[in-house]
């Protein structure tokens, strides 16, 4: 589908289109989009053969691209075929508890050229897109924020978090648990098939997990690198097999080089479908000779690893960052899709700067299922909160008591406690999918 519109600048038009290939090469519009995205994220100019592979992956993902063009040519300036702003979307499933999966509208590749800031381009792109997603029946949108101050005003709230960790694996590294199943070093190419199978187990059992796009299996298999679709010849991969022979976890990793002190192995991707498999992957990593440190930027906030180590001080948290940001588009559909661990009733008033989720709603939860009824505007509400706050609360990754203390929601202590009980989860949500 293609659309064209003018924004307040008058000379700007916005088009929507799928990634396109002609005789195996990216078409001009797709090539221009990638050129603008790479400039926006400070990468070098794209190579056509790389863009062709990425565009084929985008087609597999069902991605839709948006681009804003300035048709006013100026001497020496970039050609008008290169967008001044970019925006991309796709849809994957989000685990919302109890194994339930909610189709979620993902936003990626957002850039605005510095020369065209403060013209309403981002606002035009995001509002058009969110309105279209809502009209298409999608109840939730998601993104990962490169700048934390931008997206709250559009109704997004940080919903999951990860840790960057260093683990000292010198002589005294030891796990308290007995080994389980077997570990095998495998050819990275085997991960092209095994990685999606193993991740499916993780996805099914992990609240907050977002299903993965085409590029992940390519990276795990060493066919692509994160930076570009070229082989990663430094990659090594190992798989954990259960006693019945079923693959249950994998790790892809690479050596940082002999000039790095202490000698460090970097985890590129680590996925386990159970806690037991997770520990076996770390047992394997800790047994690699000539390595003193393992680094991983995607560890869970509630990580069992330090508790499994004979010496927990070998585990160091270097930083904690927000990962997945959520934006509710349809409160009734989103809340009725989610699994709840506790029963209860609550009336909430949602404030939405874009009007998509605005209103008052009564939540009646029984047996893990939530029924949502829209209330009259004059009806009383127990709590008032912004749609961005609802996004942070939705998976249980933020506590209502904490947000109330930060002045982010209005309500009495009893109502705040009821909100925490209702939305609370036994495990913190966890997402390891970048997009």
**19 falls in which pLDDT band (50, 70, 90)?**
very high
CATH 3.30.499.10 fits 162-321, yes or no: no
Query: Active-site residue among 154, 156, 216, 435?
Result: 435
What residues form the annotated binding site? 110-112, 118-123, 146-147
Q: Which of 151, 156, 216, 423 is catalytic?
A: 151
Task: State yes or no: pLDDT of 6 exceeds 80.
Answer: no
Mean pLDDT calculated for residue range 184-208: 98
- pLDDT tens digit sequence for 224-267: 999 899 999 999 999 999 999 999 999 999 999 999 999 999 99
Chosen CATH of 12-138 out of 3.40.1360.10, 3.10.20.30, 3.30.70.20, 3.40.630.30: 3.40.630.30
Overall fold of domain 331-423: Nonspecific Lipid-transfer Protein; Chain A (3.30.1050)
Please state the rounded mean pLDDT for residues 51-63.
Answer: 95
Q: Which two tokens stand for residue 19?
A: 């990634």
Domain range summary for the chain, segments of one domain joined by +: 12-138, 162-321, 331-423
Give the rounded percent of residues in the chain with a pLDDT score beyond 70: 98
Query: pLDDT tens digits for 338-383?
Result: 999 999 999 999 999 999 999 999 999 999 999 999 999 999 999 9
Instruction: Write the pLDDT tens digit of every residue in 124-154.
Output: 999 999 999 999 999 999 999 988 899 999 9
How high is the mean pLDDT of the chain? 95
| Same fold for the pair 162-321 and 331-423 | no
C-alpha count within 13 angstroms, C-beta hemisphere, residue 58: 24
Residues 192-210: what's their mean pLDDT? 98
pTM of this prediction?
Answer: 0.94
pLDDT class of 301 with cuts at 50, 70, 90: very high
pLDDT in tens, 166-180: 999 998 899 999 999
Tell me whether residue 253 is one of the annotated catalytic residues: no
Pick the range with the lowest mean pLDDT from 46-50, 290-294, 309-313.
Answer: 46-50
pLDDT for 10 = 55
pLDDT value, residue 196: 98
Tokens of 133: 């997603």
Q: Residues marked as binding for acetyl-CoA?
A: 110-112, 118-123, 146-147
Read off the tokens for 62.
């069902």
361: annotated active-site residue: no
């Amino acid at each position: 589908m293609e659309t064209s519109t003018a924004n307040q600048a008058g000379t700007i038009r916005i088009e929507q289109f799928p990634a396109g290939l002609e005789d195996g090469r990216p078409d001009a519009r797709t090539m221009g989009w990638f050129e603008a995205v790479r400039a926006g994220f400070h990468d070098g100019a794209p190579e056509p053969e790389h863009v062709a592979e990425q565009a084929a992956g985008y087609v597999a993902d069902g991605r839709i691209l948006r681009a804003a063009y300035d048709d006013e040519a100026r001497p020496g300036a970039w050609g008008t075929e290169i967008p001044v702003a970019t925006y991309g979307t796709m849809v994957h499933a989000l685990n919302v508890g109890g194994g339930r999966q909610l189709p979620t509208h993902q936003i990626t590749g957002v850039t605005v050229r510095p020369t065209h800031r403060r013209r309403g381009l981002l606002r035009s792109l995001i509002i058009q897109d969110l309105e279209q997603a809502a009209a298409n029946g999608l109840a939730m949108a998601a993104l990962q924020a490169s700048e934390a101050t931008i997206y709250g005003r559009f109704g997004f709230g940080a919903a999951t978090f990860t840790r960057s960790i260093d683990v000292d694996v010198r002589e005294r590294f030891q796990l308290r648990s007995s080994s389980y199943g077997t570990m095998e070093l495998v050819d990275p190419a085997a991960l092209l098939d095994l990685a999606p199978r193993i991740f499916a187990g993780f996805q099914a059992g992990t609240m907050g997990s977002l299903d993965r796009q085409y590029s992940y299996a390519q990276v795990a298999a060493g066919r692509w690198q994160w930076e570009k679709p070229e082989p990663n010849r430094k990659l090594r991969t190992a798989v954990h097999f259960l006693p019945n022979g079923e693959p249950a976890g994998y790790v892809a990793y690479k050596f940082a080089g002999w000039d790095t002190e202490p000698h460090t192995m970097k985890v590129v991707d680590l996925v386990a479908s159970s806690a037991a498999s997770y520990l076996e992957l770390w047992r394997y990593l800790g047994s690699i000779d000539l390595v003193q440190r393992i680094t991983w930027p995607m560890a869970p906030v509630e990580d069992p690893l330090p508790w499994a180590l004979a010496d927990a001080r070998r585990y160091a948290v270097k930083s904690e960052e927000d990962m997945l940001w959520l934006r509710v588009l349809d409160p009734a559909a989103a809340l009725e899709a989610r699994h709840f661990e506790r029963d209860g009733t609550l009336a909430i008033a949602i404030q939405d700067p874009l009007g998509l989720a605005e209103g008052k709603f009564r939540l009646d939860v029984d047996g893990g299922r939530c029924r949502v009824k829209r209330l009259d505007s004059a009806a009383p509400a127990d709590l008032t909160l912004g749609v961005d706050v609802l996004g942070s609360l939705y998976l249980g990754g933020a506590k209502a008591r904490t947000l109330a203390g930060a002045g982010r929601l209005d309500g009495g202590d009893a109502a705040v406690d009821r909100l925490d009980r209702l939305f609370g989860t036994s495990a913190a949500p966890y997402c390891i999918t970048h997009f």
